[in-house]
Amino acid sequence: MEQDPATGATSNNRKHDPDAMSGIVLELISAVARDRDKTAFATLFGYYAPRVKSYLRGLRVDERQAEDLAQDVMLAVWRKAALYDPSKAAPGTWIFTIARNRFIDAVRRDNRPELDPDDPTLAPNAPIAADDDLASQEISLRVRRALSCLPPDQAQVVTLSFLEGLAHSAIAEELGVPLGTVKSRLRLAFGRLRGVLGDLR
């Protein structure tokens, strides 16, 4: 594959450098949205489909269904590319939410309510003000760094929560610690991540 113009890294290295990926992925999504560019889509597919599949496998979805759902998620990326708003979420975050929702719909078959961004009852005094593309990319960058710096016991509960989809009680059982300990570790991790974003928001 071609070289990354920004860093000169080969595509192989680039895979392991999500920070450098972000700008390129934004370009690809906008090419899909604007030009219905299938080559751009194929590149997104090559990068994200196997990661979405790993995510679903972690949630104990079987191989066959994980393959199908990963494909569904990527088709949703194709369909919804024009709705993607870089000011609200980094690409990986956006794709994570699509994959999570697909899992909830197709595997758990739950009818989950979403917070409606246009809900007038929500946050009359808190417009999502100074956000721009940069801010959402910066959030993603800082969250990634903060995650890698979490104490191991906090990182563990965050991982079990997101990547294995375990409820707090199931995490407590898995680790053999009291429910309150799981909750306080998660709360600390969340507080820490909010903390590193303090000046952004």
Q: Where in 78-117 is the site for another protein (CB under 8 A)?
A: 78-80, 83, 88-97, 99-101, 103-104, 108, 110-117
Show contacts with another protein in window 32-51 (CB under 8 A).
36, 38, 41-42, 45-46, 49-51
* Of positions 2, 5, 126, 176, contacts another protein by CB under 8 A: 126
Burial (CB count <10 Å: 0-12, 13-18, 19+), residue 62: exposed
Of the candidates 132, 143, 153, the residue with the CA atom closest to the CA atom of residue 195: 143
Is the Cβ–Cβ distance between 147 and 193 less than 8 Å?
yes
Q: If binding is defined by CB under 8 A, does position 134 make contact with another protein?
A: no
Q: If binding is defined by CB under 8 A, does position 6 make contact with another protein?
A: no
Q: How many angstroms separate the CA atoms of 100 and 98, rounded?
A: 6
- Provide the mask over 179-198, with x wherever binding to another protein is found by CB under 8 A and - wherever it is not: xx-xxx-xx-xxx-xx--x-
* Of positions 8, 149, 167, 173, contacts another protein by CB under 8 A: 167
Could you tell me how far CA 178 lies from the centroid of its own chain?
29
